[in-house]
Amino acid sequence: MHKVAFLSLGSNIGDRMANIITALDRLGQVGEIIAVSSIYETEPVEFMAQPWFLNCVVKLDTEKMPKQLLAAILKIEQSMGRRRLQKKGPRIIDIDILLFGSAVVDAEGLTIPHPSLHERRFVLEPMAEIDANLDHPALKRTVRELLAELPAGQAVRRVGGPPIAESNSR
């Protein structure tokens, strides 16, 4: 059974763009990458004393179930050297499941939709680029509406097009 998941990728350690590209390449083994947003440079949230991030959003067609997808993502992060030393701290790569079809999941270690999705400009802007009319299954509002409701604040700026062409995925 195929499902479409939306994932957020972020990196603020080392060669941030190379980290994003490596993660995208490895995600291509987890499913088919349907779309990749542009790259955005974003200031950190919550823990501010760290370098700025590069972020993008990926639309992935996968046969994996949510917990299987999470396990595959954690394996990619670990293989790339991700160490969880400080909550919200610097990281080589961070991959979050934002949405998984229209599923609402509340399990130990996994909440879908991502609980902070509607509060994060660095996620909503690239997500809107891929599908602004996508509905948040719990809040019953589109990505465009959620983005419009955000207060001014976090700096998010587009710095480049998609790091890979969708036709180059799998």
The one catalytic residue among 26, 61, 84, 94: 94
Is residue 94 part of the annotated active site? The answer reads yes
The one catalytic residue among 15, 25, 61, 82: 82
Which of the four pLDDT bands, split at 50, 70 and 90, describes residue 169?
very low
Which fold would CATH assign to domain 3-168? Alpha-Beta Plaits (3.30.70)
3-class secondary structure for the chain?
Answer: CCEEEEEEEEECCCCHHHHHHHHHHHHCCCCEEEEECCEEEECCCCCCCCCCEEEEEEEEEECCCHHHHHHHHHHHHHHCCCCCCCCCCCCCCEEEEEEECCCCEEECCEEECCCCHHHCHHHHHHHHHHHCCCECCCCCCEHHHHHHHCCCCCCEEEEECCCCCHHHCC
Would you say residue 99 has pLDDT above 50? yes
Whole-number pLDDT of residue 86: 65
The pLDDT tens digits for 105-128 are 999 999 999 999 999 999 999 999
Task: Work out the average pLDDT over 66-84.
Answer: 92
The pLDDT tens digits for 130-158 are 999 999 999 999 999 999 999 987 889 99
Is residue 131 part of the annotated active site? The answer reads no
Whole-number pLDDT of residue 168: 40
The one catalytic residue among 91, 120, 121, 131: 91
Is residue 83 part of the annotated active site? The answer reads no
The one catalytic residue among 16, 26, 96, 131: 96
Whole-number pLDDT of residue 161: 84
Is residue 82 part of the annotated active site? The answer reads yes
The pLDDT tens digits for 22-71 are 999 999 999 999 999 999 999 888 777 889 999 999 999 999 999 999 99
